[in-house]
Amino acid sequence: MDELATIFEALIPISFFALVLLIVYFTARFRYKLKKSIIEKGDTVEFPKSRFPLLEVGITILGFGVGMLAGSFVMMLQDSFEMAPMTAAALIFLFSAAGMIVAFFVRRRLDDRTER
C-alpha cells in the first residue's frame, strides 16, 4: 500500500507539469493556426499587445500565493475541521481567480491612461 501511495505522490507533480505543457502547446498552436488563416485570407495580423504583461502575471501569482497562505492557515486548523484540505484547495483557486480579475481591471485602467 505504501508503494502505491509513493507512486501517486510522484505522479501528481508530473501530471501537473504535463497539464501546463499541454495548455501552452495548444494555446500556441491555436494562435498559429489563427494567424495562418487570417494571412491566407489576405488580411494583416495584428493582435493587441499588453503594455504590462508581467504586471498581469505578477498579480495573478500574488493571488495564488495569498490563496496558498490562506490555505495553509486552514490546514493548521485541520484537527477541528474535516473539510480543511478541500477548503485549502478552494481558497487557492479563489484567490488565483481574484488575482486574475484584479489584473484585468489594472490593465484596463492602465490602457485608458495611455490612450489619453
Instruction: Judge if pTM exceeds 0.85.
Output: no
Taking only the tens place, the pLDDT of each residue in 36-55 is: 888 888 887 776 666 667 77
Which residues make Cβ contacts (< 8 Å) with residue 95, sequence separation at least 6?
Answer: 63, 64, 66, 67, 70
- What's the sign of the alpha-carbon dihedral 105, 109, 114, 116? positive
* Burial of 65 from C-beta contacts in 10 A (0-12 / 13-18 / 19+): middle
Which residues of the chain fall below pLDDT 50? Answer: none
With cell 498559429, the residue in question is: 32
Max distance between CA atoms of the chain, in angstroms, equals 64
Joined together, the cell numbers standing for residue 5 give 501511495
